[in-house]
Structure 1
Amino acid sequence: MDRRRSANPTKLHCTIKLLAVTGLLILFFNIEFNIYGQNWLVRPKLPIEVAIVLLCLAANATWPSFKRVGLPFAAIFLSVGALLHLIDVASSAIYGRTIDLIFDAAQIPHVLELMAVSMGWFIVAPLTLAVLAILAGTVGLFALAARYLGAQMESLAPPAGMKKAVAGLTLLVAAQAVDLTGIVTSTAMASSAPAIQAASYHAKIISLWFDDGRAVVDEYRQQRGEVRDGETTLPRLAGTNVYLIFVESYGASLLERDEHRAVIEGLYDRYDDTLNGNGREAVSTLLESPTYGGLSWLAHLTSTAGAWIDTNLEYRAYLRSDLDTMTQILRRSGYETSLVMPGIQRYWPESRLLRFDHVYTAGDLDYGGVRFGYFGIPDQFTLERIPELISKDRPNFVQLALISSHYPFRPIPPFIEDRTKILDGSVWAPAAEAAGSFTRADWADPADGYIAGAAYSLRAALDFAERHTKPDDLVIILGDHQPWSVVSGNLGGRAAPIHVISGRKDLIACFLADGYRPGLAPKRGEVLYGMDWILQRMVAHFGDRGPAEGCARPFGAAS
């Protein structure tokens, strides 16, 4: 009896330790960032990772033959799962999406360079080392936690009791795997349904990698409406110049906050009046972007290809294929095509795959002024160079990506009111001094910089449409994606505004028929369709197999 009494406290202590460590694991895997409310949440539910680890450790304590693999597997699974959960929560807080293990890792050097230009390597280097230390510490800590739990389990119960625990945990894990228990969490790495979605996403990526994208190219060939690769033309444009201007991070969240909406609607009202006074009409709506917080090129190609392209591997597969984009269709229609990318500062071999007649990057724009932040060239300068770059003898298709509204949104170039001085490099030095330097406070609260940057870029684009395009030209201005969720609060989802401007009433009538609204102000929350429909609807309305006059069937009927 004395021996039993002396043994009981040991088992009680082991039970308390087991429950305490298990509780901490449950707490950790239930921490998530609420991108809608921009706050941290803890959900009191059992994560599937913890259930799997407990199952392995219970089996390890029950069958001696399992010891060689049970504890090592539990330690590796728990530490890697904790690392992924930590990264996934950070990705949700920044990008509003789960992590892409294959592609996002490749972007780390670019992100570090962007931060270094804005903040300096003396801040970024120790910050990077601190992050790496946290990640390494996470792996080590959770591996030790698995070993500690295993030791407590081995001290706890006789094999019969552990076998019951194994049976119960097996049923629990199986139930969570099909999402039947109702006790799973809603974070990407800790609930069965989102975890399955994340696994499916990465299975798709791996399949694309091995297949070299052939399967998805075949799908695109069949799913792009009336686009006929190698054949389609747009004769009803009748030589009208087409300008496709992407505004970086110009997202629907600008319409959701009163202070942001007041700024942006002021621009809408001002330029509605001036455009109408110059014989032009604007129509607008919201479109869903294939990306969020970054990866702008996915939105660019989705808009011009008529296909939904939301991964980098799909992007590369499309460019390596023989499928048309708006560029090839307009070139076949007699246009000279130009791509202007002021954000590209290095050798860019990928540009050949885009198949433009001319590609102008930062070095081709001959900007002689001071740099504004990481990307350097003010959008006003870039737009002012367009008339000098394009053909005077043929109709032009110009695709342009503005970058002054790119994260970190500071410093913002001031708007030069005297347009005759924009191309004078000397005017930008005092302008840069007036704009002020980038501070750490801008990183801590970037929302003010975001609205200033978006308003500047949009104003520059609308000013270009007013001053440098002919009344009959077709100008399409659209946002590529929302800003990071820490700025947008995920308000407006994945939507971005699009504005179509022209003095040709027959062209504008077809966009109105598709559901666009008159004026520059889109209706909040009214997302018409995805960006992949831009080219598809242009082909339906203005293509060689479209109506001789009037417009194609309404969008709903066409879909």
Structure 2
Amino acid sequence: MSQVAGQLPEAETEEDRDQGAESAEGTEERPGPRGWRQRRPRAARGVSVSVTVLAGVLLLCALVLPNRVERLTFDAFVRIPAEGVLLAGLLLSLPPRPRRIAAVTTGALLGVLTVLKFLDMGFYQVLARPFDLVLDWILLDDATDFLRETFGRTGQVLAVVGVLVLLAGVLVATTLSAVRITNLMVRHRPVAARTTLILGTAWITCVTLGVQFTDVPIASKINADYVDNRVEQVRAGLRDAEVFEKQAAVDAFAATPPDQLLTGLRGKDVLFTFIESYGRVAIDDPAMAGQIDTVLDEGTDRLEKAGFSSRSAWLRSPVTGAGSWLAHSTFLSGLWIKNQQRYRSLTTSDRATLNSYFRKTGAWRTVGIVPGVRRAWPEGEFFALDHIYDSEQLGYHGPYFSWTPVPDQFSLEAFERLERGKKDREPIMAEIILASSHNPWAPVAHMIDWEDLGDGSVFHGIKEQGKDPKEVWKDPDSVRAEYANAIEYSLRSVVEYVERYGDDDTVLVFLGDHQPVPTVTAGSRSKDVPITIVARDPKVLDRIADWGWTDGIKPAEDAPQWPMNQFRDRFMTAYGPRD
């Protein structure tokens, strides 16, 4: 008997020991007769079953989770994930130790994919595109800055901590869930094997027959496709620097002598004015078109009465939702600046921009009105501006309007006071950024008598009349309404400025930098922004007569649409020497 007993441990296989350990996992009780599992076995079993069910649901959700908010529908989760079937078969076939490693690795990878999908959701909501694993990490820092500027330091800290806790929780939960479900499958290996086989057969059948639930295929391989797309995205991101370097080396005007540059604008004040988030949706969307059309039609009439003519068209921006600096640099450099890597490469190069070509002639003083800049801006030197006026140098002593440091009307008045209104000055080329239409569009300033602007203190009372952005963003319709109000304010500021201060030597080019966030565009994929050239001297607009642009400050629906990076060369050609 002792001999047989002594042989039992040797007869026990490693697989048996592993299964025994896995069976015990999750049911281990604290020693002592007063353990709650012993005293309440039904409750203990209920808790165990509930945790297992939750683990299974979590893994299923991770396997079929889409990466866009609008796709988070019930039918998106009624699918058979091919990756789940294959992983189940793999885990059942592995020996104990590799199986444990594979279970932990699988759970962690599913957690990472889930986190990346959450990032995609955020980027789609703001930028209408997925997160770029190579090029977008720097934008996370910009996002935290935006939170601080909009909701204060406390709001920023709370948001960042909350996000980090959530991401860590997802990784831990998916890993523990994968281990728990793997142990369950091993304890019930025959049932798990049959279920895996049935699901695999069902997946193949659904693919073959094209079976769908509503409009969503039952058979899913969303994670395989997602990983494949991300791998290709990384490859493209790594190649992009080389591609951009070749593009940046080509400049049609690099060898043009200064006295042959921009000859058609000599003696004129040329004002390149960007209106934040002024996109095509403001004109095309039926919910906003009536309001914005009225502003544009009235603006065209008022400018005509003041002796000005205007032409308008569309430009396609490289970005949407955010990333104004990418659009600005695309417009000014003639290169397609679609990501932060390209922006850094551009601003550390000797590429000439519209600004630098104006400066190169020696016929203009170049200045920048950039109220959105509130800290050191080393890139400013690249843009060849003789002087930059940031939010601290405009003489504004009023309140911020959420993110917006200085209302547009005050920015334009400050430009007149600080630069253009001076006597005995040389012609000016100005880059002017109007930020009142920047997200979150609440509270919004409104026009007042230009004589009452003073030092901006008057805007304290105006801000108090505005709406709370936290309340506005509870309802998409409210967001869209306030966006339209903000665009109206920016447009009125521009029109009234030209009407009040413009003269025969004024040439205004104003445009949007990008479309607003998807909450406003409501699913539109257009990246078009309006662009308008205004001048009193008919010779200025005669130079672009062959462009086919629309009369007035509202572009027609079928007006020409150019990629934004093409404007620089077309503009310089139109206003260069003529044979």
Unaligned stretches of 5+ residues in structure 1:
1-9, 11-16, 549-559
Secondary structure in 1 matching 2:388:
strand
Q: What is the aligned partner in structure 2 of residue 451 from structure 1?
A: 484
Q: CA deviation at 1:384?
A: 0.7
CA offset at residue 159 of structure 1? 13
2-structure distance, mates of 1:432, 1:46: 48
1:358 partner amino acid: H
- Number of the residue aligned with 1:390: 419
**TM-score (structure 1 length as normaliser):** 0.80
Say whether 1:364 aligns with 2:390: no
Change in 2 beyond 3 A, CA 1:372/1:19: closer
Give the superposition deviation at 1:283. 1.4
Alignment partner for residue 410 of structure 1, among 409, 419, 442?
A: 442
Amino acid of the structure 2 residue aligned with 1:310: K
Residue 318 of structure 1 pairs with residue 346 of structure 2 = yes
* Superposition map of 1:361-510 within 5 A: 361-390=390-419, 392-416=424-448, 418-433=449-464, 435-436=465-466, 438=468, 440-445=470-475, 446-491=479-524, 493-510=526-543
Q: Which residue of 2 aligns with 1:555?
A: none
Of 89-98 and 385-394, deviating more is 385-394
Structure 1 residues 133 and 23: alpha-carbon distance in aligned structure 2, compared to 1, 3 A threshold: closer
Taking every aligned residue pair, what percent have the same amino acid on both sides?
A: 24
Is the contact made by 1:305 and 1:324 (CA closer than 8 Å) also made in structure 2?
A: yes
| Whole-Å separation in 1 of the counterparts to 2:247 and 2:224 | 29
- The reply on whether 1:62 has 2:62 as its aligned counterpart is no
The 5 Å alignment of 1:199-214 reads 199-207=231-239, 213=241
Displacement of 1:468 in angstroms is 2.2
* Change over 3 Å in CA distance of 1:540–1:197 after alignment to 2: farther
Secondary structure of the residue that 1:532 maps to in structure 2?
helix
Residues 1:256 and 2:284 are matched in the alignment? yes
The Cα of 1:267 is off from its aligned counterpart by 1.0
Give 1:186-205 correspondences, 5 Å limit: 190=222, 196-205=228-237
**Structure 2: gaps of 5 or more residues:** 1-22, 24-50
Structure 1, residues 498-551: CA drift from partner, whole Å, max 9, x if none? 11112343432454522321112223476612111110211232235xx43xxx
1:508 maps to a residue whose letter is L
| Closer/same/farther in 2, CA of residues 33 and 497 from structure 1, 3 Å limit | farther
Q: How many residues of Structure 1 are paired with residues of Structure 2 in the alignment?
A: 513
Check conservation: 2:440, 2:469, Cα contact below 8 A: no
- The structural deviation recorded for 1:94 is 3.4
Q: Does structure 2 retain, via aligned residues, the 8 Å contact 1:62–1:159? A: no
Deviations, residues 310-337 of structure 1 (Å, cap 9, x unaligned): 0011011011112111011111232221
Do residues 151 (structure 1) and 183 (structure 2) align?
yes
Residues 83 and 224, structure 2, Cα contact 8 Å, conserved in 1: no
- 3-state SS of the aligned residue for 2:268? coil
CA distance in 2, matches of 1:368, 1:21: 56
1:86: how far off? Answer: 2.2
**Letter of the 1:342 counterpart:** P
The answer (yes or no) to whether the contact 2:273–2:432 under 8 Å persists in 1 is yes
Q: Deviations over 1:376-418 (max 9, x none)?
A: 21111110121233364322210011111111112212211x2
Q: CA deviation at 1:67?
A: 3.1
Provide the rounded CA distance (Å) in 1 between the counterparts of 2:160 and 2:374: 24
* Equivalent position of 1:236 in the other structure: 264
* Counterpart Cα distance in 1 of 2:530 and 2:430: 19
Q: Is the partner of 1:83 in helix, strand or coil?
A: helix
Q: Is the 8 A contact 1:280 1:503 kept in 2?
A: yes
d(CA) in 2 for partners of 1:25, 1:283? 57
Shift of 1:181: 12
Deviation at 1:215, TM superposition (A): 4.6
- Deviation of residue 165 (structure 1)? 6.5
Which structure has the larger Rg over C-alpha atoms? Answer: 2
1:428 offset after TM fit, Å?
2.8
Matches within 5 A, 1:289-300: 289-300=317-328
Scaled by the length of structure 2, the TM-score of the pair is 0.78
Alignment of 1:212-361 (within 5 A): 213=241, 215-222=243-250, 226-228=252-254, 231=257, 233-333=261-361, 334-361=363-390
* 1:94 to 2:126 alignment: yes
Q: SS state of the match for residue 425, structure 1?
A: coil
Tell whether the 8 Å contact from 2:409 to 2:447 is kept in structure 1 after alignment. Answer: yes
Tell me, what secondary structure is at the counterpart of 1:246? strand
Q: Residue 104 of structure 2 contacts residue 176 of structure 2 at CA under 8 Å; is this kept in 1?
A: no
- SS of 1:362 mapped into structure 2: coil
| 2:473 counterpart SS class | helix
Would you say the 8 A contact 2:67–2:117 is kept in 1? no
Could you tell me whether the CA contact under 8 Å between 2:398 and 2:460 is conserved in 1? yes
Q: Which residue of 1 aligns with 2:19?
A: none
Following superposition, the deviation at residue 465 of structure 1 comes to 2.4
Aligned to 1:431, what secondary structure does the other structure show?
A: helix
